[in-house]
């Protein structure tokens, strides 16, 4: 084996040199230079100081204004809650570990960080699934008489937390475990060891199938159908400039959504599966650290792509906070949505389909 396995850890370095020490008791600077740990700490600090206020602001504004409490915005609000779970329960612990060079909070701290990071990431992922299904039902209308209402949204959000708990809770109950990964300053599921006494292999397969492949398939299906529907509408109304614009904007937004999902999760999932399928092979600590921190960046990507592009939220934030945070909101909205067109006021609703809204007077359903 090219790594060293302990009772609660797996360090990706052979102990033939006698350098390997427990990541819960000693700094791990033999794995990487101290400046790399400082870089990780700086990155985590950046995520905390940006994702925390943006997600908190979104949560505050949505709860303060009844007109934002719509089925679509419920899922967006859930994204903010999930991201805050990751920031408060996971990123703060990772920052502390990176500054110390090891997991000084012990095994309990590792389980806390791993649980909240996994829970927040899974809630966010399944929230994106709910968003994709909502977009599919509203825009594509596969069921003519079906109306996506508040009860459906609440059920969808309950599903996100149930599914997230079925992924994050089992390691706490003895099915698999959380251990330090990569440079040993963040924790995740144990992909590194078979650990038959806790049925580790079966949990990893279960997690990949139910909590990665299936959500990804649903998202791709819904947005591909959404794109086909908008294109079909554009072909039937070739002289409608607004419809042609809608096709281009929906195409751009779908591409951004899919790419952001892939950037956040595919590198981590691919590396984790490679390590799991090739247990015992040699790999460096940075090999797992880099994709793991790409996935953590989703706490910032999510509000930028899915929430900050919501024109209603942007406008209300601008009214309440006209300075720094509001400027960020407007900047992201302008870049992703192409800015104002011909001096006309943008219609309410999410940027995904505000040009194709069938009922502009009902913001949040567009």
> Over the stretch 144-181, which tens digit does the pLDDT of each residue have?
677 778 888 899 999 999 999 999 999 999 999 999 99
Give the pLDDT of residue 350.
Answer: 38
Average pLDDT estimate for 34-41 = 95
Whether the per-residue pLDDT at 353 is higher than 90: the answer is no
Query: pLDDT confidence of 344, banded at 50, 70, 90?
Result: very low
CA angle 33, 38, 44 (to 5 degrees): 135
Average pLDDT estimate for 224-228 = 82
The domain limits of the chain are 4-12+22-356
Percent of the chain with pLDDT over 90: 39
Whether the per-residue pLDDT at 280 is higher than 80: the answer is no
Task: Dump pLDDT digits (tens) for 78-123.
Answer: 888 999 999 999 999 999 999 999 998 999 999 999 999 999 989 9
For residues 43 and 220, which has the higher predicted lDDT (pLDDT)? 43
Query: pLDDT confidence of 310, banded at 50, 70, 90?
Result: low
Average pLDDT estimate for 30-44 = 94
Give the pLDDT of residue 312.
Answer: 58
Structure-token match 């101290």, residue found = 34
Average pLDDT estimate for 126-154 = 80
- Residue 279 annotated as binding? yes
d(CA 90, CA 312): 30
CA angle 254, 260, 262 (to 5 degrees): 105
Handedness of CA 165, 286, 107, 276 (dihedral sign): positive
| CB contact set of 172 (below 8 Å; sequence gap of 6+) | 111, 115
Give the pLDDT of residue 190.
Answer: 94
For residues 28 and 284, which has the higher predicted lDDT (pLDDT)? 28
- The residues that bridge with 178 in the sheet, in sequence order, are 189
Whether the per-residue pLDDT at 327 is higher than 60: the answer is no
Identify the CATH homologous superfamily for domain 4-12+22-356: Rhodopsin 7-helix transmembrane proteins (1.20.1070.10)
Of 10-19, 69-78, 202-211, 331-340, the poorest mean pLDDT is in: 331-340
What pTM value is reported for the model? Answer: 0.80
Give the pLDDT of residue 101.
Answer: 93
Give the pLDDT of residue 345.
Answer: 42
Average pLDDT estimate for 136-140 = 79
d(CA 275, CA 288): 9
Average pLDDT estimate for 195-213 = 94
Whether the per-residue pLDDT at 222 is higher than 80: the answer is yes
């Amino acid at each position: 084996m090219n790594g060293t396995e302990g009772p609660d850890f797996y360090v990706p370095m052979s102990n033939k040199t006698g350098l390997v020490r427990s990541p819960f008791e000693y700094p791990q600077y033999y794995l990487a230079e101290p400046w790399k740990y400082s870089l990780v700490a700086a990155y985590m600090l950046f995520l905390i100081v940006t994702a925390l206020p943006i997600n908190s602001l979104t949560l505050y504004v949505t709860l303060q204004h009844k007109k934002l409490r719509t089925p679509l915005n419920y899922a967006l609000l859930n994204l903010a809650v999930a991201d805050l779970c990751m920031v408060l329960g996971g990123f703060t612990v990772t920052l502390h570990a990176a500054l110390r060079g090891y997991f000084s909070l012990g095994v309990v701290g590792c389980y806390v960080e791993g649980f909240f990071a996994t829970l927040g990431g899974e809630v966010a992922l399944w929230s994106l699934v709910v968003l994709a299904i909502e977009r599919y039902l509203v825009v594509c209308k596969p069921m003519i008489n079906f109306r996506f209402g508040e009860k459906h949204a609440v059920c969808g959000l309950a599903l996100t937390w149930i599914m997230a708990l079925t992924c994050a809770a089992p390691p706490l109950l003895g099915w698999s475990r959380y251990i330090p990964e990569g440079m040993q300053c963040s924790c995740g599921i144990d992909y590194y060891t078979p650990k038959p006494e806790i049925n580790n292999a079966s949990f990893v397969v279960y997690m990949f199938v139910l909590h990665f492949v299936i959500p990804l398939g649903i998202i791709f299906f819904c947005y591909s159908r959404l794109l086909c529907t908008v294109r079909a509408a554009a072909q039937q109304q070739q002289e409608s400039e607004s419809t042609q614009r809608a096709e281009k904007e929906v195409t751009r937004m779908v591409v951004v959504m899919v790419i952001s999902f892939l950037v956040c999760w595919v590198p981590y999932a691919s590396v984790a599966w490679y390590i799991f399928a090739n247990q015992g092979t040699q790999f460096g600590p940075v090999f797992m650290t880099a994709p793991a921190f790409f996935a953590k960046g989703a706490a910032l990507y999510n509000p930028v792509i899915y929430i900050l592009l919501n024109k209603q939220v942007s406008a209300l934030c601008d009214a309440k906070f006209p300075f720094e945070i509001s400027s960020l909101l407007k900047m992201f909205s302008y870049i992703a949505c192409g800015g104002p067109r011909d001096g006309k006021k943008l219609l309410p609703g999410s940027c995904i389909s505000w040009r194709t809204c069938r009922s502009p007077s009902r913001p949040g359903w567009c």
